[in-house]
Structure 1
Amino acid sequence: MPLQLNVQFNIVMYSVLAGVLTGILFDIYRILRGVKIPKVIIVIEDLLFWSLCTLIIFTFLLYTNYAFLGVYVYIFIFIALALYFKIFSRFVVMIENRIGKIIFKVFRVAIKTFLYPFRVILKKMGNKNR
């Protein structure tokens, strides 16, 4: 018995969302990975990333369309991923970089603020020994 039209539409839409989610995860991974890393570490990181990405996408599809994995689900994931990289990837990477800089700055200021009293105490202790 064929699936109802609304169920098929939901499966296609969730497949497209899974493709976009994969693209966003890959952009985050690309930013975190860096540039100058030995090839062996890159291979290990890639295997770990794609394993994690597979688990995330499968879990997403499991909860949204009961893991109905037909051929067209993979086709729509691939189409959405290709369109994401072609159209949106530049902007998402730019936004992710800005968010990363803001988070880094907040952590840096928080750590310096937290360590400041200790630096003052250590400095005063150092002056007494002279």
Structure 2
Amino acid sequence: METVEFQSFVFMFTVYGGIVIGILYDIYRVLKGSGRRGRFITSIWDILFLAAALLVVLWALFSSNYGDVRAYVFIGFIVGFFLYDKILSKIAIALFLFIKRNVVFFFKTTNNILMLPFKFLFNLLWHPLSRLWQFIIHKRIRISKLKKLPGVIMRDSRKYYKLIIRKNRK
């Protein structure tokens, strides 16, 4: 038989587990974002959140009462989640959004700095290479017209052969 002191310890531990699940849920919401995602990506995010929540539940159960499941354990998780949701959720979401924006800004800035020499080289080479390409295309069109010239001459000579022969006989 469990003592009231042990049961209250387990209850508080599961309340703590519910708070951790609430934090995970807010992180999940911030990372998932409000934009439209495909069904597959949404399913992956959902599975990751459920796996993390399951790990928290198992950790709380096995750390506090050796995995013994009682009604007050479920009540503790629910109370912890709702306390977190009503008291700290808005502050935590603002904090997570701030962190997400700063991390995205850091990586974009780092990417722009690292890509700067490549952009400079690209812009330096683009104008001459585009002119060269236009020159090649222009010459290619001329060459293709010149390649067709013998065929045109042969076709026209066949066409006017009889006319030329008749005029020469007269």
Partner of 1:61: 60
Q: Matched residue of 1:35: which SS?
A: coil
What code does the residue aligned with 1:15 have? T
1:10-57 deviation per Cα after TM superposition (whole angstroms, max 9, x unaligned): 322221111111111111122223335379568735751453133221
What code does the residue aligned with 2:24 have? L
1-structure distance, mates of 2:120, 2:70: 64
CA spacing shift, 1:63–1:107, aligned 2, 3 Å = farther
Q: Matched residue of 2:47: which SS?
A: helix
Q: Is the 8 A contact 1:61 1:68 kept in 2?
A: no
Instruction: Tell me if 1:119 matches 2:110.
Output: no
1-structure distance, mates of 2:122, 2:11: 62
CA spacing shift, 1:107–1:90, aligned 2, 3 Å = same
CA RMSD of aligned residues (A): 2.7
Higher relative contact order (CA 8 A, sep 6+): 1
CA spacing shift, 1:64–1:34, aligned 2, 3 Å = same
Matches of residues 47-86 of structure 1 in structure 2 within 5 Å?
47-62=46-61, 64-65=63-64, 66-86=66-86
Q: Matched residue of 1:19: which SS?
A: helix
Partner of 2:110: 110
Q: So what's the TM-score if we normalise by structure 2?
A: 0.63
What code does the residue aligned with 2:18 have? G
Partner of 2:17: 18
Give structure 2 stretches of 5+ with no counterpart.
Answer: 132-170
What code does the residue aligned with 1:117 have? P
Give structure 1 stretches of 5+ with no counterpart.
Answer: none
What code does the residue aligned with 1:96 have? F
Q: So what's the TM-score if we normalise by structure 1?
A: 0.79
How many residues end up aligned between the 2 structures? Answer: 129
